[in-house]
Structure 1
Amino acid sequence: MPLRVGYVREHFSSPLLQYAEIDAGKSFVLVECPSGTGQLISRLTNDEIDVAVALTDPLISGIAKGSEHYKLVGSYVTTPLNWAVITGKDTKYQEIADLQGSTIGISRYGSGSQTMAYVMALQQGWPTEKLEFKVNNDIRGLINSVNDGSTSAFMWEWFTTKPFVDAGEARFIGSVPTPWPSWLIAAHPTRATPVALRTFLSTLTTYVQTFDSPEKRAQDDVEFIKAKFGYPEADINAWLKTVNWTHDCAAIPSKVISDTLEVLEKAGFIKSPEDGFDVAHFVNTDIARLT
């Protein structure tokens, strides 16, 4: 039975999409999760997917808060994610500092849009225990929310949001890059067999290495993203300058986990047990190698 692989249909997924086109459902099928990592985690929990290519911080914070529905099995994107801070087209908010005490829009509780709001608050020196949120499911709901006044702003990946800003539906008022590599791979601890997962990760590695090569970045990557997502060529080239993928999807640096836990704890999003976190607890070491 093919693996059910949850993903977010964004430009970051391009190597995965190329793999899926060639595989044609033989070893895995893609399950789109437009609401982001909160939805991916929910679907892992509810037996709707077996594997998730998802954001680092919600995956790690979910395990830190006690989830037994998945473990980390691999790496994907090794560079930070640039989270734009977005408000409505006619709101009073002009910069991030203006948002203190307001209601922030998020896609779901436990999503990257929520964890990064804590990181933003930490950077701004705001009391994180006073943050207020409103769930708006996806980017369309989030944009509607900042324009109808029910939220002040929301956070989403810069280039994914840029077409809406270019169309005059919203405004950028700042950005907050993640203090960690942005994408990891997680899997349910029993639904996905070790053999299937190892095959998936090793083959994905070849697609990632090819996509990340200088030769492909020069033209083929640009044409693929343009065809799949309709982004202007200038935006694609600007984004490609900011992103790198792992060259071994089955390897997870232990520093990624420990550094992410440290920032999320400082931000007040998670609480460490008395004896501290055990990095190995976050990883299925039958599948992935901690480095």
Structure 2
Amino acid sequence: MTDIKIGGVPEHFNYPWYITLKNKEYAKKGINLRWQDFPGGTGDMCKALRSGEIDMAIILTEGIIKDIINGNPSKITQLFVKSPLIWGIHVSNNSPFKKIADLQHATVAISRFGSGSHLMAIVNARNNGWDTNKLKFKVVGNLQGGIDALTKGEADYFMWEHFTTKPLVDNGLFKRLGDCPTPWPCFVVAVTNKALQKNYTEIKNILNIINNCTQDFKKINDIDEILANRYDQKIEDIQKWLSITHWSDGKPITKNLIGRIQNKMVSLGVINKREKSSELIKNMYF
């Protein structure tokens, strides 16, 4: 058996991995795939890829592009979710802020620098014409850290995936002032260069298995009820999420797409300059 370690956020996007692991589909190919949850998100996974703690990650597009440019020895092997991620912009329920424009000089809670919550705060600021050099950040680690920071008044607003935080809005802990969708496909699969060199065939088999699952994921009987129960969501919210979420099913990621994403990231001030797209990707041909 070949040991491969993979990480991802403990959210509904990654339920196909749970299914394929539960069904022992990787073991049938001689692969001991070990999943690790990363509640801290993309910044945490970038660190784990760099250290070799994990070999693969299901990770936010903007975060891993920025980190590979900054020296992370990994490659993007494919898109995982090709639709945008909807980031909710949240304040505490007793906050005086009423609209997004009120947040221009407020402190934003982020899981860590280089995370999606950090980079999308920059995107949101640019969208609203704010000076991104004047943004004030409070590092909080993860979603629970964001809850604590807003509740204690240590930060003013916090951006996190819309549907994951919906129960917090429903129970009155958070108020959502609006949403900020990513201007690019949201999740990719990143693999360390070391794992690609050492276990290329196994990585290819893993991707084949997960892509077969995502292809038919929405057709699974009662998938809306299963996800609603597992992730403490209202069924109507899960149904809406399923209707707007689209997996890539393993279609190759093109240099043109990565180039366009980089151009957008440069224009939004998320990265300073673009690199050769070929330096960022390693297509696996299925």
Q: Which TM-score band applies after superposition, normalised by the shorter structure?
A: over 0.9
Which structure 2 residues correspond to residues 24-103 of structure 1 after superposition, within 5 A?
26=27, 27=31, 28-64=33-69, 66-103=70-107
1:234 has 2:239 as partner: no
Matched to 1:226, the amino acid is: A
Offset of residue 165 of structure 1: 1.2
CA distance in 2, matches of 1:40, 1:147: 26
Which residues in structure 2 correspond to 1:110-129 (within 5 Å)? 110-129=114-133
Separation of aligned partners in 2, 1:113 and 1:9: 16
Is the Cα–Cα contact under 8 Å of residues 103 and 134 in structure 1 kept in the other structure?
yes
* Structure 1 residues 105 and 10: CA distance shift in structure 2, 3 A: same
Structure 1 stretches of 4+ with a deviation exceeding 6 A read: none
Match of 1:279 among 259, 277, 280: 277
Q: Among 191, 197, 200, which residue is 1:194 paired with?
A: 200
CA distance in 1, matches of 2:58, 2:285: 14
Between the aligned partners of 2:103 and 2:176, the Cα distance in structure 1 is 13
Change (3 A) 1:288 1:116: farther
> What runs of 5+ residues in structure 1 fail to find an aligned partner?
none
Q: Which residue does the alignment assign to 1:222?
A: 224
1:185 to partner: Cα distance: 0.3
Counterpart residue number, 1:209 = 215
SS of match in other structure, 2:244: coil
Offset at residue 147 of structure 1 (A) = 2.0
Post-superposition Cα deviations, 1:44-64, rounded to whole Å, max 9, x if no partner, equal 111110000011110111122
8 Å CA contact retained: 2:227, 2:238: yes
Secondary structure at the counterpart of residue 160 of structure 2:
strand
Paired residue for 1:108?
112
Aligned-residue offset at 1:117? 0.6
Matching residue's letter, 2:280: F
Report how far residue 264 of structure 1 moved: 1.7
Partners of 1:220 and 1:254 in 2: how far apart? 38
Pairing partner for 2:169 from 155, 158, 165 = 165
The answer (yes or no) to whether the contact 2:26–2:206 under 8 Å persists in 1 is no
State the alpha-carbon separation in 2 of the partners of residues 226 and 108 from structure 1: 28
Matched, 1:175 2:179: yes
Aligned partner of residue 247 in structure 1, secondary structure:
coil
Q: Confirm or deny: 8 A CA contact 2:167 2:232 kept in the other structure.
A: no
Structure 2 counterpart of 1:17: 18
CA distance in 1, matches of 2:118, 2:259: 20
RMSD between aligned alpha carbons?
1.7
- How far apart in 1 are the matches of 2:171 and 2:146? 16
Q: CA deviation at 1:92?
A: 1.1
For 1:253, the equivalent position in structure 2 comes to: 254
Q: CA deviation at 1:120?
A: 0.3
Alpha-carbon distance, 1:24 to partner = 7.0
Provide the rounded CA distance (Å) in 1 between the counterparts of 2:285 and 2:72.
Answer: 17
Counterparts of 1:128-167 in structure 2, within 5 Å, are: 128-167=132-171
What is the alpha-carbon distance in structure 1 between the residues aligned to residue 57 and residue 253 of structure 2? 15
> Is there any run of 5+ residues in structure 2 with no aligned partner, and where?
none
State the one-letter code of the partner of 2:171: A
Q: 1:118 Cα deviation (Å)?
A: 0.8
Displacement of 1:288 in angstroms is 5.8
Give the SS at the match of 2:81: coil
- Alpha carbons of 1:265 and 1:172: their partners in 2 closer, same or farther (altered >3 Å)? same
TM-fit CA distance, 1:228: 2.3
In the aligned structure 1, how far is the partner of 2:41 from the partner of 2:101?
26
Q: Distance in 2 between matches of 1:270 and 1:176?
A: 18
